[in-house]
Structure 1
Amino acid sequence: MIKTLLRAAGLFAFAAWTTPLAAHQAAAPAAQAQTVDADPALWVVKDADTTVYLFGTIHLLKPGLSWFDEAVKTAFDRSDELVQEVVLPDPQTVQKALIATAINPTGPGLEERLPADTRKAYLAALADVGVPAASFDRFDPWFAATNLTVLKLVKAGYDPNSGAEQALTAAAKQAGKRVTGLETLEQQFGYFDSLSEKSQIAFLTDTIKQLPDAEKEVGKMVAQWSAGDPDALAETMNEGLDATPEVAKILLLDRNVRWANWIADRMAKPGTVFVAVGAGHLAGKDSVQAQLAAHRLKAERVPY
């Protein structure tokens, strides 16, 4: 499920703000290291008067990766508007969205809702990231899965402030570019909340199983992203996706279709737009680019 989270919305939303549960933990200061060059993939869809760049992001990165340069920076500078998965609102709005979608005030606690053979591993995962055992008792399984992933990656040195979206948003604001979102935070949380209880439990259970290898797996995906190899990235991220078809449909396929529809509509208006979404949405057979075929639009890879 960690791979699914990197493909999907949740990590950007959770990494970009600090929950009370995560406030005690911050990324350890990284040793000064040589900057590593990265050349992630970039695509463009264009007609006579409209240009839409498509850039795949990684929601959390370690400091020291140089990706916001060359063709990516050129495309960004040419754009009038930055479009991301979501524009994060103020903390009060975030809190309200969480209360509406993530809290389970009645019934058994989260530990009791898990399969008996998973509970010990769940408690061990909480202890590993320094979270008290009862912290997620009144939250839904999707919320625990997402937070555990973020906390595990932060512990491994991944910095929410080094994520691609944060850099792009800061640059857009500095340049006076308009920043808009394809979705609202309420919608993103709602996608997770709409998952059935069975799928949410499977989501959390699979996340717990994958946490010990999280740093290794994410490192592999970041390397593939840095090398501009979306085919390899898709293969890595698709591993195990068939195990949770409801999660894949709601968090990935359905959103790719909607985003392709948005791009098709946007092509009717002149201008240049830089669209930045999770890299997994731009990789594989169900990618946004593949969905554009239904609109007779083709995304071309930008060479650099």
Structure 2
Amino acid sequence: MDNSLMRCAMRFTQGVRRLLTLVCLTVVATTAQASSVWKVSSGDNVLYLGGTVHVLRQQDYPLPVEFDRAYLRADRLVFETDLAQLRTTDVQQRMQRAIRYGDGSDLSQRISAGLYQRLATIWQQYGLPVEALNGLRPSGIVITLTMLNLKQIGVDAQGIDDYYHSRAVKEGKPVSGLETVDQQIGFLATMGEGDEETFMRMSLDELDEAATFVDDILAAWRQGDLDGLEHLIVEDMRRESPAQYQTLLVGRNQHWMPQIKAMLRDRPVEFVLVGSGHLAGDEGLIKQLQLAGYQVERLQ
């Protein structure tokens, strides 16, 4: 897997139909009175919270105008993690190690023979040598197949995170992350661990649904449709992968909330950009900020 795919895959947001959702929240529809950017206020202090798409299609540009409005009003941008550090050789090497078993074992020892044969067949259909499966963890396999699948359906352009990170660096705006790259590497290493059979079976099933699922998620994202995002992302993950739901969504939201609250106690204006699935549902950031007493309104 090349470095650009690994960087994209590391910016986890939510589940795959599980992994498709992690790497590919993109859109086709548009409405005049909706967006995926919110203004959060505490007295005179303000920050902007944007739901992002980690990979886009060329036709999805230009981005909704609300993103630029929040960017121009912000003094600092905050991403899920340090995107510049993800590009370093050291982190890339650690990520490559994280998607492989370190004890010489193999996924074939953890899933049924029939499922492994199905996996090998699909792997080869994408033009990959079956020998390349040796030693790969479920995360490495599923991320590779998902990214190749997305490229086939035209989802291969720069995502919102990379777009605004590059722009901020070029224009001299400070940037930071809500979690360390080590934390994200940890998420990568443990995806599907302990239930490899279910994780791999569902992931392979979902590859066939990619094009339709992308269109559905895309429309919900551009419209800032939290109910739609919850239905498409959160409900499925909560039902089918409760452990991953707690780790990748709930736990991370809980970790980010104190940091977001601290931003609302200082004067600089932040623009916080996280995967759209983190905003939806009762345990999403929008609801949690409302429950904490902050004023939350959609940016127009």
TM-score w.r.t. length of structure 2: 0.83
Identify the match of residue 126 of structure 1 among 99, 123, 127: 123
State the shift of 1:141 in Å: 1.2
Task: Check conservation: 2:230, 2:281, Cα contact below 8 A.
Answer: yes
| Residue in 2 that maps onto 1:203 | 199
Q: Once the two structures are superposed, what CA deviation does each residue of 1:258-295 show, in whole Å capped at 9, x if it has no partner?
A: 11221012222111100111011111222112222454
The alpha carbon displacement at 1:230 in A equals 2.1
Change (3 A) 1:128 1:196: closer
For 2:77, what is the secondary structure of its paired residue?
Answer: strand
Offset from partner CA, 1:81-116 (integer Å, 9 cap, x none): 111112232341223322552221334322342222
For structure 2, list consecutive stretches of 5 or more residues without a partner in the other structure.
1-14
Q: Are 2:240 and 1:243 equivalent residues in the alignment? A: yes
Stretches of structure 1 that go unaligned for 5 or more consecutive residues are 13-34
Query: In the alignment, is the contact (CA less than 8 A) between 1:55 and 1:276 conserved in 2?
Result: yes
Rounded Cα–Cα distance in structure 2 between residues aligned with 1:200 and 1:46:
43
Letter in 2 for 1:278: G
- Counterpart CA distance in 2 for 1:54 and 1:110 is 39
Match of 1:22 in 2: none
Contact 2:45 2:267 in 1 (8 A): yes
Q: How many residues align?
A: 278
CA contact (8 A) 1:231 1:283 kept: yes
Select 1:218's aligned residue among 206, 214, 217.
214
Match of 2:47 among 34, 52, 77: 52
CA contact (8 A) 2:19 2:203 kept: no
Match of 1:32 in 2: none
Select between 235-244 and 66-75 the one with higher mean Cα deviation: 66-75
Question: Which residue number corresponds to residue 275 of structure 2?
Answer: 278
Listed one character per residue, the Cα deviations across residues 238-257 of structure 1 (whole Å, up to 9, x for unaligned) are 34321211111101110011
Q: CA RMSD in A?
A: 2.4
CA gap 1:7/1:215 in 2 versus in 1, 3 angstroms: closer
- Which residue does the alignment assign to 1:61? 56
The match for 2:93 is 96
List per-residue Cα deviations over 1:114-135 (Å, max 9, x = no partner): 2223123211321232222121
Matched, 1:256 2:253: yes
Identity over aligned pairs, percent: 28
Equivalent residue, structure 2, for 1:4: 18
Deviations 1:194-214 (A, max 9, x none): 457323443333111110111
Counterpart CA distance in 1 for 2:235 and 2:125 is 25
Aligned partners of 1:257 and 1:291 also within 8 Å: no
